[in-house]
């Protein structure tokens, strides 16, 4: 199958491209610069431009592009970049797909469990409403921007991804060296739930969304049992055989991270109800399995 991917240089996108190509799929990588290779096509999300030649003949499109949520302090300018990169990028892809004479069968569009906001101890699945705050509002607009594709009859699935356990990047990419150095510890009181997923399960789940005709709408890409930050910390210490004795106070996180600290300290107990109902089988359902898979 010919499959187009945005965000192909990111943690998830690059792993997805490797997986697809290993199984013989043709992958077109959309880039925001002049294409430098035969497998690249140009898009400019800010201008709403997507090269239709790159989409021609595609059976599926996976849209993962967006500014990193934890890459910079949340200034007003960077919050705008977070929102615009997701909303404008999704709208550009959705409109381009809707305009094709022969559109792909499926659009898998990135989203996040940040949709639910702080759920405390309450477990939520895809039927839960959006939460309150900056990230939930971004996720609502992000998903809504794909409406032109859905209205054109393209099966559209939203991959609401949790924290991806990987050494190569993301939040866990920062945790691994800290814990290996023996200076890891819980964040705040450690009672907040983390909805996590191993990188290889994330890639497998995205491919499951591509290949399973009945799945559309929101799908939580998280391991079956979310754990508290305290439990995750203890698991990291066991697997890496290092102490985890230095908690990071909430006040220190707020000084370093600013507004983003509220989301780090917040609790999201999201469960993958639709993924499990559709027959998906996790390779790394437990936290220690996910950590070991990333080593």
At 52, list the tokens.
């239709």
Name the DSSP letter for residue 129: P
At 8, list the tokens.
């192909």
Contact 97, 57 (CB under 8 A): no
What is residue 131's predicted lDDT score, i.e. its pLDDT? 96
CA-closest candidate to residue 14, choices 31, 35, 2, 33: 31
Helices (H), 23-130: 52-55, 76-98
Contact 222, 198 (CB under 8 A): no
How far apart are the C-alpha atoms of 150 and 161, rounded to whole Å?
20
How far apart are the C-alpha atoms of 120 and 15, rounded to whole Å?
31
How far apart are the C-alpha atoms of 194 and 229, rounded to whole Å?
6
Contact 20, 3 (CB under 8 A): yes
What is residue 248's predicted lDDT score, i.e. its pLDDT? 67
Sign (positive or negative) of CA dihedral 276, 227, 198, 115: positive
Angle made by CA atoms 66, 265, 293, in degrees to the nearest 5: 65
Q: What is the pLDDT along the chain (295 residues), one digit of tens a residue?
A: 999 999 999 999 999 999 999 999 999 999 999 999 999 999 999 999 999 999 999 999 999 999 888 767 778 998 999 999 999 999 999 999 999 999 999 999 999 999 999 999 999 999 999 999 999 999 999 999 999 999 999 999 999 999 999 998 877 887 788 888 887 778 788 899 999 999 999 999 999 999 999 999 999 999 999 999 999 989 988 998 988 777 765 554 454 455 555 556 688 999 999 999 999 999 999 999 999 999 8
Phi/psi-derived region of residue 133, left when phi > 0, alpha when psi is between -120 and 50, beta in every other case:
left
Three-state SS at 189: coil
Total tally of structural domains belonging to the chain: 1
Q: 3-class secondary structure for 237-251?
A: HHHHCCCCCCCECHH
Contact 11, 169 (CB under 8 A): yes
Which residues form the domain of 207? 2-294
Contact 274, 219 (CB under 8 A): yes
Residue 196, beta-bridge partner list: 163
Contact 131, 100 (CB under 8 A): no
How far apart are the C-alpha atoms of 187 and 257, rounded to whole Å?
12
Cβ-proximal residues to 250 (8 Å cutoff; 6+ apart), any chain: 187, 188, 189, 261, 265
How far apart are the C-alpha atoms of 63 and 109, rounded to whole Å?
5
* CATH value at residue 11: 3.40.50.720
The model's pTM is 0.94
Quote the crossing angle between the two packed helices 134-144 and 76-98, to the nearest 10°.
Answer: 20
């Amino acid at each position: 199958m010919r499959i187009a991917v945005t965000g192909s240089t990111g943690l998830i996108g690059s792993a997805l491209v490797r997986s697809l190509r290993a199984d013989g799929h043709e992958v077109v990588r959309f880039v925001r610069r002049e294409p430098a290779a035969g497998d690249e096509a140009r898009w400019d999300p800010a201008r709403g431009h997507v090269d239709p030649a790159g989409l021609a003949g595609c059976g599926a499109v996976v849209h993962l592009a967006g500014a990193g949520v934890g890459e910079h302090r949340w200034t007003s300018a960077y919050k705008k970049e977070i929102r615009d990169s997701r909303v404008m990028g999704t709208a550009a892809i959705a409109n381009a797909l809707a305009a094709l004479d022969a559109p792909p069968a499926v659009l898998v569009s990135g989203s996040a469990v940040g949709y639910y906001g702080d759920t405390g101890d309450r477990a939520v699945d895809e039927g839960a409403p959006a939460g309150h705050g900056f990230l939930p509002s971004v996720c609502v607009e992000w998903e809504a921007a794909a409406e032109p594709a859905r209205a054109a009859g393209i099966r559209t699935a939203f991959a609401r991804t949790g924290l991806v356990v990987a050494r190569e990047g993301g939040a866990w990419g920062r945790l691994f060296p800290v814990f290996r150095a023996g200076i890891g510890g819980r964040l705040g009181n450690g009672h907040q739930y983390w909805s996590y997923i191993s990188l290889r399960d994330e890639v497998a789940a995205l491919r499951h969304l591509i290949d399973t005709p009945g799945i559309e709408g929101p799908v939580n890409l998280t391991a079956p049992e979310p754990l508290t930050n305290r439990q995750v910390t203890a698991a990291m210490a066991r697997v890496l055989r290092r102490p985890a004795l230095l908690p990071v106070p909430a006040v220190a996180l707020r000084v370093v991270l600013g507004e983003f600290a509220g989301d780090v300290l917040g609790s999201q107990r999201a469960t993958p109800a639709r993924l499990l109902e559709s027959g998906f089988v996790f390779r790394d359902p437990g936290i220690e399995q996910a950590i070991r898979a990333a080593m």
